[in-house]
A = this chain, B = another copy of it.
């Protein structure tokens, strides 16, 4: 399990509540529904994520979200390594699902957490990840209300996989759908691209290189709320360009909405350290994952308002209009380069960066 750091290498936090001396590692029995599963839930998950729902130790949570529309989403996290500059799998598992809810135009409220652990995982590592999830949940204002833990044999998993599903309540007036992108709409990006992907690669086995790039992982729901407040129904599409980056996100939207897109290369911000790492690795930053950026496709007359709303939020201070939705060619994203030429930004057909989230 090369991707699991040794517990001794980690900075010390509060002491792990599961008696480490007795069970320093996760055993298969921690996943088989008996005493050890019960202990793990009672001593680690319930105190960490503590809320009245989890405290019931029921098969599920009972919620009263009130009337109205709900958003529901899920994501599994298999990022390798588990800890990376600027974040870890636990934080990512919270923000990833919080952001998917935000991209539906929803205010994130309740999360589930499903763990698939590999036998032999140091208990201290699990505890670190659980603490990180809780800190991220507090920052994002969501509650982890239900969960599940499974354990697989050594060599049948990779340390920790986490699934989170989430429920949010739709913001008033939200009408977000990839199909709503239309001719003339402005394409706005909330900040500079590629930091998350490069941060992961910089610590990946066999590839380690020196860079000060940190993951941009952050919860985007407040930024989205600002945008929705400013432009309401004129916000047509929201999307966080994670796996596959800005290029894949825009291609998916162009296909779904049956429109084309023109991008201006100079308008897409890239921090210098990301740019140089991409050059070294032969990567196009347009395809590199982000975990704290948002694309907004908005009616032309709302472009300035949305841009201003984003810039007034610290997470959107580098927001820029990066392009325009056009009628055709349908499903095609075209980039106008610095030197005035055009190139097609296609969806990648092969592998670029596996296990980036």
Q: Chain A: residues with CB nearer than 8 A to chain B?
A: 27-29, 31-38, 56-67, 69-78, 80, 99-101, 103-104, 106, 110, 112-116, 145-148, 150-153, 155-158, 161, 163, 165-168, 170, 176-179, 239-240, 242-245, 248, 252, 255-256, 287, 289, 346-356
Contacting residues, chain B, for A103 (C-beta < 8 A): 58-60
Report whether B116 and A116 are in contact in the complex, using a CB–CB cutoff of 8 Å. Answer: yes
This chain's copy number in the assembly: 2
- With most chain B CB atoms within 10 A of its CB, the pick from A31, A155, A163, A239 is A163
Contacting residues, chain B, for A349 (C-beta < 8 A): 29, 34-36
Report whether B112 and A74 are in contact in the complex, using a CB–CB cutoff of 8 Å. Answer: yes
Nearest CB of chain B from residue A4's CB, rounded to whole Å: 12
Contacting residues, chain B, for A245 (C-beta < 8 A): 33
Contacting residues, chain B, for A239 (C-beta < 8 A): 59
Q: Which residue of B lies closest to A289 (CB)?
A: B33
Contacting residues, chain B, for A145 (C-beta < 8 A): 72
Report whether A165 and B74 are in contact in the complex, using a CB–CB cutoff of 8 Å. Answer: yes
Report whether A113 and B352 are in contact in the complex, using a CB–CB cutoff of 8 Å. Answer: no
Q: Which residue of B lies closest to A39 (CB)?
A: B349
**For the complex, what is the distance from the CA of A350 to the CA of B151, rounded to whole Å?**
13
**For the complex, what is the distance from the CA of A273 to the CA of B62, rounded to whole Å?**
38
**For the complex, what is the distance from the CA of A243 to the CA of B33, rounded to whole Å?**
5
Judged by DSSP, the binding face of A is mixed
Contacting residues, chain B, for A161 (C-beta < 8 A): 116, 150, 152, 161
- With most chain B CB atoms within 10 A of its CB, the pick from A34, A147, A158, A287 is A34
A32-B352, A33-B242, A114-B165 are known; give 5 further A-B pairs, CB within 8 A. Answer: A29-B349, A60-B166, A64-B69, A73-B112, A157-B157
**For the complex, what is the distance from the CA of A35 to the CA of B37, rounded to whole Å?**
40
**For the complex, what is the distance from the CA of A32 to the CA of B79, rounded to whole Å?**
11
Given A161-B161, A347-B38, A349-B29, check contact A73 B56 (CB 8 Å). Answer: no
Contacting residues, chain B, for A67 (C-beta < 8 A): 66-67
* Of B73, B152, B176, the contact of A158 (CB 8 Å cutoff): B152
Report whether A35 and B73 are in contact in the complex, using a CB–CB cutoff of 8 Å. Answer: no
Contacting residues, chain B, for A252 (C-beta < 8 A): 38, 57
Contacting residues, chain B, for A99 (C-beta < 8 A): 59
Report whether B78 and A71 are in contact in the complex, using a CB–CB cutoff of 8 Å. Answer: no
* Of B59, B72, B347, the contact of A35 (CB 8 Å cutoff): B347
Report whether A165 and B112 are in contact in the complex, using a CB–CB cutoff of 8 Å. Answer: yes
Report whether A146 and B74 are in contact in the complex, using a CB–CB cutoff of 8 Å. Answer: yes
**For the complex, what is the distance from the CA of A66 to the CA of B67, rounded to whole Å?**
6
